[in-house]
Structure 1
Amino acid sequence: MKKVGIFYGSTTGATEGVAETIAARLGVASEDIHNVGTTKVDEVDKYDVLLLGSSTWGIGELQDDWNDFLDKLKAKNLSGKTVAIFGCGDSASFGGSFCDAIGIIYNELQGSGCQFAGSVDTDGYSYDSSEACVDGQFVGLPLDESNESDQTDKRIDAWISGLKQVIC
């Protein structure tokens, strides 16, 4: 398997928990899981695959720790790296901006040279709109820990199954 690094921003701990679950299921060591609020962007250089996670705040905003980190990340040459994005959102209260943070990261990293992986079919999700939805699919894994936590494990497993075809 290629060297995988997980980078997340989490305010309430939900996205951190998802990052840890993904790491456990992929066999990613704890030293390869990074909180973007306390990590230097050069840490990404060590990895072939970057799994990037952010919750969505307010009406479609990135989790705060991502602001500086993403600016620095998009300035790097990510050629040869695979990027897959995951995030948490609230489809009931913020159905018009559900998991927009996934789409923001995706859009900001366009032109960085990376290859994206891990798109997810929109079937089974209840939301009005999302910046993370491109051409009828989510560009990453959206999770709703507030309203659909019973779906999280199944969704993570399906996402990882698809990713393994790319990252192994």
Structure 2
Amino acid sequence: MSKTAIIYSFHTQKSKKAAEKIIEAFGKEEIEAVNAEELSKDTFEKYDHFILSAPTWFDGELPNYWDEFIPDLEEMDLSKKTFAIFGLGDQKGYPENFCDAIGLLAEILEECGAKIVGETSTEGYTYEASRAQRGDKFIGLPLDQENQPRLTKERIANWVGKLKTDFFN
């Protein structure tokens, strides 16, 4: 039986709240939470499907815990693994690199052979540029708790519904 992990920093506020909403929508018994600050290669061997939190820090950077783990990640063969990425960003404060961390992490995972699922529409967002955008879609789920918090619950529900199909079909 395939196993699904959701990886996020247990020490954040907004990403943690978003992850908890995803866990609730996915089904608590169907997904295991993993602290992103305690990652190891074993984590990626243990699961088949992953939901990763990638909040964009500063001017389009990955959080430190991902930066520190990238060298290990780049050595892995992830060709039999499926990943979905969500991230927090600020469309108004950082419109030129909105949710870039989603795109950065997706690029690294794809170089390791991973399959990325969970694309979402760019409709309803206002920003200048994003590395998470591919064509008219995002490669994952961007959430903007600064400017659009009331849309988060619906966006997560729609995304999780799609992930269940993408992961298990």
Letter in 1 for 2:122: T
Letter in 1 for 2:158: A
Q: Distance in 2 between matches of 1:117 and 1:31?
A: 17
Task: Describe the shift of the 1:158–1:113 C-alpha distance in structure 2 as closer, same or farther (beyond 3 A).
Answer: same
Secondary structure of 2:38 counterpart? coil
Q: Does the aligned pair in 2 maintain the 1:96–1:129 contact within 8 Å?
A: yes
Secondary structure of 1:72 counterpart? helix
Letter in 2 for 1:153: K
Residue deviations 1:31-70, cap 9 Å, x none?
8211211232321211110111111111101111111123
Q: Does the aligned pair in 1 maintain the 2:86–2:142 contact within 8 Å?
A: yes
Q: Does the aligned pair in 2 maintain the 1:5–1:33 contact within 8 Å?
A: yes
Secondary structure of 1:24 counterpart? helix
Q: Does the aligned pair in 2 maintain the 1:104–1:131 contact within 8 Å?
A: yes
In structure 1, the residue matched to 2:112 is: 112
Letter in 1 for 2:129: S
Q: Does the aligned pair in 1 maintain the 2:4–2:31 contact within 8 Å?
A: no
The percentage of aligned residue pairs carrying the same residue is: 36
Q: Distance in 2 between matches of 1:56 and 1:144?
A: 11
In structure 2, the residue matched to 1:15 is: 15
Q: Which runs of 5+ in 2 are unaligned?
A: none
In structure 2, the residue matched to 1:33 is: 33
Q: Does the aligned pair in 1 maintain the 2:100–2:130 contact within 8 Å?
A: yes
Q: Does the aligned pair in 2 maintain the 1:6–1:34 contact within 8 Å?
A: yes
Task: Describe the shift of the 1:113–1:91 C-alpha distance in structure 2 as closer, same or farther (beyond 3 A).
Answer: same
Task: Describe the shift of the 1:51–1:164 C-alpha distance in structure 2 as closer, same or farther (beyond 3 A).
Answer: same
Q: Which runs of 5+ in 1 are unaligned?
A: none
Moved more, 147-156 or 21-30: 21-30
Q: Does the aligned pair in 1 maintain the 2:4–2:30 contact within 8 Å?
A: no
Q: Does the aligned pair in 2 maintain the 1:89–1:98 contact within 8 Å?
A: yes
Deviation at 1:79, TM superposition (A): 1.6
Secondary structure of 1:83 counterpart? strand
User: Normalized against structure 1, the TM-score is what?
Assistant: 0.92
Q: Does the aligned pair in 2 maintain the 1:88–1:145 contact within 8 Å?
A: yes
Q: Distance in 1 between matches of 2:13 and 2:69?
A: 18
Q: Distance in 2 between matches of 1:49 and 1:128?
A: 31
Q: Distance in 2 between matches of 1:40 and 1:144?
A: 29
> How many residues in Structure 1 have an aligned counterpart in Structure 2?
168
Secondary structure of 2:54 counterpart? strand
Equivalences for 1:1-168 in 2 at 5 Å? 2-9=2-9, 12-29=12-29, 32-168=32-168
Q: Distance in 1 between matches of 2:5 and 2:111?
A: 21
